[in-house]
Amino acid sequence: MAIRLAAGKLPAAHLASLVDRLRRHDPQVLVGPKPGEDAAVIEIGGRALVVATDPVTFAADRIGAYAVHVNANDVAVLGARPRWFFAVLLLPEASATADLAEAIMADVAAACDALGATVCGGHTEITVGLDRPVLVGQMLGETDRAGVLDKTRLAPGDHLLLTHGAAIEGTAILARERRALLEGRVSPALLDRAARLLDAPGISVVAAALAAAGAARVHALHDPTEGGVLTGLVEMAVASGHGLRVFADHIPVLPETAAVCAALALDPLALIASGALLVGAPPGELGAVADVLAVQGIPTSVVGEIRPRADGLTVERGGRVAPLEAPARDEIARVLERPAG
């Protein structure tokens, strides 16, 4: 009997088994499909082409900006500047209008303009069986080969620094698209502030990633997304092949996030987290990273440490250490399964 899978990412073990079956035939592929890496790197003429692709499925509002930024983030954390964007836009048959298509594409164009990226093409269609628009983005960027920050550079003793806080994206989505569930539990003023997190600090980490990479001897960068900060930290460790200690009490949670998550009984550390950046570097380099990000007004906190593989994956809370597993699914999936009204 076939086992049905829940909405969200494939279970990590299942994904790993699928990826293990893929063979890398071309030696120009420097970084191929692997758990914990969200983009590929292909060497072309001595340069490194970084390619990322991701759909927008949790959000229905501002999906153009989401698609651009989540894909640009995946390119930037490998050390490349995002430059070329492609989009596949699927509109639901029952509600497709010219105005809807124009609004989404205008959002795409504005987000690319803000990053200095160029929309190069893609595909559009009206699709049977959808209940809302779906936008699949692909971003390409480039850097020199030595500038590629794949996570195998991480080493035991490296510290992991987090910018801003947990669940910026998840908080904004819930405030914008499930406001009815939150009204009466969270003040209108706080909900308004939560909705504005989409733009301030926003979900792009491109500027922070490129600044951090140029400021110090950074070993790896990662943007935690689906599954929250905890999943992002686990992904870094898995991709590096080392162990991990997470300092859960040190992970900042914005007041808006805390209120929204308390109202819906969600774990903010397991809620979709675009807008935060994870930086892995030796302890002596963290000061330079924190200083350059502070110039941009970006706060930072040390939230973990890479450990020897034999130490496994652990989390420290309230002075107690316990085994750590990535959340089975993102907290937002549970909420979006409920009726919007």
In order of start, what are the domains of the chain with their CATH numbers?
A: 26-147 (3.30.1330.10), 151-336 (3.90.650.10)
Strand 134-144 relative to strand 278-281: parallel, antiparallel, unpaired?
A: unpaired
| Tens-place pLDDT, residues 27-49 | 899 988 887 788 999 999 989 99
For 127, other C-beta atoms within 10 Å of its C-beta total 14
| Tens-place pLDDT, residues 230-239 | 999 999 999 9
Burial of 114 (0-12, 13-18, 19+ CB in 10 A): middle
Q: What is the dihedral of CA 40, 44, 48, 53, to 10 degrees?
A: -30
- Determine the pLDDT at residue 340: 58
Nearest to 231 by CA among 300, 180, 304, 179: 304
Give the helix/strand (H/E) hosting 112: helix 98-115
Task: Dig out the tokens for 340 from the structure.
Answer: 């919007």
Residues shown for the chain: 341
- Determine the pLDDT at residue 37: 84
Helix (H, G, I), strand (E, B) or coil at 310: helix
Cα-only R_g, the chain: 19
Contact call for residues 65 and 87 (beta carbons, < 8 A): no
Task: Dig out the tokens for 241 from the structure.
Answer: 């092949």
The residue type at 219? H
CA distance 5 to 11: 8
Give the helix/strand (H/E) hosting 48: strand 47-56
All residue ranges of the chain with pLDDT < 50 are: none
Burial of 234 (0-12, 13-18, 19+ CB in 10 A): buried
- Determine the pLDDT at residue 7: 67
